[in-house]
Structure 1
């Protein structure tokens, strides 16, 4: 290992730790109301340290939101990889999505939706989830596990429902928690898709 590599690794580790701490803070309290001075004070670091992550508060918010979704996607895919049954994959995918979303406060969701830059990341994640569900449905239809349906339509419906859950709209209208809404979506989806008489 060269000396420069030896120095780079601890720096990268410190940045990763800082991103994790920012993610946890944003998830708990949102981010729109924070200034860089506020964040430096809460994390007990200098503003120059924050500038090693991003050049402005908005860029920092985008980076932290992207970091959150990257970790959430990794968690979800790890859960799905544990199964080779497409019905179970759908259930595990939605359960893991609910678990990944559980720490996100309403302030975080609202701030993310209100900011054009972070909303783009947020919507890209919802579209990716819809694409993943479409893939499960196509595979289930191919295997004869799911009845013949329009995978694109079902994926779009699921994607919009996921966005509604993430934005808090489903909870406001139904009284369900986000986790309960994902469980209900899974039950509804598998019940409607299953080719045989049992889910």
Structure 2
């Protein structure tokens, strides 16, 4: 878990710099947070810089100081959101005392944060190539971290020897499926109950 610990230290330093930054940088972060909320709820394809400026009660110039074009603003907001999901996962994982709990602590923020994203937002990402590439890179990084946690569990004798990458792929696919409303409706359970059931099945199997 060495790489994960180094990354978490970098994340904490980044948060400290953001929290202790200048008034201008704090204003920038506040605007990015507000834009993130708008994009997650409404998508971003139909949003204009004029419209954003009016809703955020700032000038267009202020927004263009954050990024030079609407596309750049959108990409910055999306990458910021994805980076926070990864950071939350790493912090949660490193707060656990064993690889079993680290696995689910790591993936849970990816599910809970995605639940805030509207269908329109996710559709807009699919149709905007830079954001789609950012999402694919995000998934690749999540896969690498999850694989690292699994390999750590194998090396410590907590997991039996298995194909760590394949296990990570299957687990993320299951988690993503649970995050879809039709899956929960068909099963007749809520998200937390479904997540706990998956946790039990993965770690304990189904054989008596």
What is the TM-score with the length of structure 1 in the denominator?
Answer: 0.80
The aligned residue for residue 33 of structure 2 is 20
Q: Does 1:157 align with 2:170?
A: yes
The aligned residue for residue 97 of structure 2 is 84
Ranges of 4+ aligned residues in structure 1 off by more than 6 Å: 176-181
Contact 1:95 1:183 in 2 (8 A): no
C-alpha RMSD over aligned residues: 2.7
Contact 1:90 1:186 in 2 (8 A): no
Of stretches 183-192 and 42-51 in structure 1, the one that deviates more from structure 2 is 183-192
Question: Could you tell me which of 103, 115, 121 is aligned with 1:108?
Answer: 121
Cα offsets for 1:79-111 (capped at 9, x unmatched):
112112110101211222222222111111111
The aligned residue for residue 45 of structure 2 is 32
SS in 2 for 1:25: helix
The aligned residue for residue 44 of structure 1 is 57
Of stretches 44-53 and 70-79 in structure 1, the one that deviates more from structure 2 is 70-79
Of stretches 177-186 and 153-162 in structure 1, the one that deviates more from structure 2 is 177-186
Give the C-alpha shift of residue 116 in structure 1.
Answer: 0.4
Uncovered stretches (5+) of structure 1, i.e. residues with no partner: 1-7
The aligned residue for residue 10 of structure 1 is 23
CA distance in 2 between partners of 1:50 and 1:128 (Å): 29
CA distance in 2 between partners of 1:113 and 1:184 (Å): 30
Give the C-alpha shift of residue 160 in structure 1.
Answer: 4.7
Aligned residue runs from structure 1 range 117-196, under 5 A = 117-161=130-174, 164-165=176-177, 170-172=180-182, 175=185, 183=196, 185-192=198-205
SS in 2 for 1:77: helix
Contact 1:76 1:93 in 2 (8 A): yes
Contact 2:99 2:152 in 1 (8 A): yes
Q: 1:47 to 1:78 in 2, by over 3 A?
A: same
CA distance in 2 between partners of 1:12 and 1:120 (Å): 27
Uncovered stretches (5+) of structure 2, i.e. residues with no partner: 1-20
What is the TM-score with the length of structure 2 in the denominator?
Answer: 0.77
